[in-house]
Amino acid sequence: MRLKNFRLGAVGALLALLGFAGVYANPAAEEAVIRINARKFEYDRLEITLKKGVAVVIELTSLDRVHGFNLPDFKMRADAIPGMVTRVRLVPDEAGTFEFFCDVFCGDGHEEMSGKIIVTD
């Protein structure tokens, strides 16, 4: 009888531990994903609104060549590479409007390749 109770106790403890670990092992499951496609001279998202303190994952892809994604106010920089998805995590810590832009020269018109992130309280 004691052995049976031990097994049930051990199984219950294991399930509780797994449930507890699941809460902390996968916090990214609740984070919003924002997809941005880059192509010569433009991003398909010119304006993104985020909430201060709320984490998001930005997924970058390129439809034609290597492009950059530079968000200097948050010290974030990544490459958008054709055929790949680049993921960066962002937790905005202040409200305001912040510019992002391509920092990999892609020809005449490159200087117009930008957008903004608006962070609200």
CA dihedral 50, 51, 55, 59 (to 10 degrees): -10
Q: Note the pLDDT of residue 29.
A: 58
Domain span at 116: 31-120
pLDDT digits (tens, 9 = 90+) for 79-120: 999 999 999 999 999 999 999 999 998 788 778 899 999 999
Q: Tell whether the torsion through CA atoms of 66, 33, 54 and 22 is positive or negative.
A: negative
CATH value at residue 56:
2.60.40.420
| Number of structural domains found in the chain | 2
Q: Which helix (H) or strand (E) is 21 found in, with range?
A: helix 2-25
pTM of the model: 0.72
Asked if 97 contacts 117 with a C-beta cutoff of 8 angstroms, the reply is yes
Query: Is residue 58 located within the same domain as residue 114?
Result: yes
Query: Is residue 58 located within the same domain as residue 42?
Result: yes
The DSSP 8-state label assigned to residue 82 in this structure reads B
Say if strands 47-51 and 114-120 run parallel, antiparallel, or are unpaired.
Answer: parallel
The DSSP 8-state label assigned to residue 1 in this structure reads -
Query: Is residue 58 located within the same domain as residue 85?
Result: yes
Nearest one of 99, 1, 90, 103 to 50, comparing CA atoms: 90
SS3 61: strand
Indicate whether 5 pLDDT > 80. Answer: no
Q: Note the pLDDT of residue 110.
A: 79
Q: Note the pLDDT of residue 98.
A: 98
pLDDT digits (tens, 9 = 90+) for 15-53: 344 444 333 344 455 799 999 999 999 999 999 999 999
Q: Note the pLDDT of residue 6.
A: 39
* Residue 54 or residue 17, greater confidence: 54
Q: Note the pLDDT of residue 4.
A: 44
